[in-house]
Amino acid sequence: GIMIVSMELPLIHTLERKSTLKIMAVGTVLFAAGFGILPLSTTYWFAVITVIIWTLGEMLIFPLVAGLIANRASDDNRGQYMGLFSFTFSLAFVFGPVLGSWIYDNIGPHQLWIGSGVLGILITIGLLILEKFQSKQ
């Protein structure tokens, strides 16, 4: 929490002239790396480092998502886009812990974290494809 409060705004301000999708892609890589290497943790400090890595990713992703969605919508349907975004974000908070707990209990803790890392890499690829498509327009 301290890291987010003290660093998020200066970090986003420093990067505001860069491509939003590229910044989000970097954030997603950090998020994926932090979660994906967690099973390698054998010490408390290694786990702390993974939390710092994924928190940096979070700081690059979450402040930009709402702006990206709002900018992609027209004035006529911006409210619908933002409402759908809020709804899906809320669903993730409801179903994410349930699904994560099920995977942890039934498949295994390492698979949960490695799977989260793989999912993050797939999302990164999607963001980069979207960025390439968007820059052609």
Query: Containing domain of residue 32, as a range?
Result: 2-136
How many separate helices (H) and strands (E) can be counted in the chain?
5, 0
Q: Interhelix angle for 44-72 vs 78-106, to 10°? A: 150
pLDDT score, position 137: 63
Q: Into how many domains does the chain fold?
A: 1
- Express each pLDDT in 81-99 by its tens digit: 999 999 999 999 999 999 9
pTM equals 0.83
What is the percentage of the chain residues whose pLDDT exceeds 90? 66
Distance separating alpha carbons of residues 111 and 117, to the nearest angstrom: 10
pLDDT score, position 4: 78
Those residues whose C-beta lies under 8 Å from the C-beta of residue 12, and which sit 6 or more positions away, are 59, 60, 63, 64
Position with higher pLDDT, 15 vs 61: 61
- Express each pLDDT in 97-127 by its tens digit: 999 999 999 999 999 999 999 999 999 999 9
Those residues whose C-beta lies under 8 Å from the C-beta of residue 134, and which sit 6 or more positions away, are 21
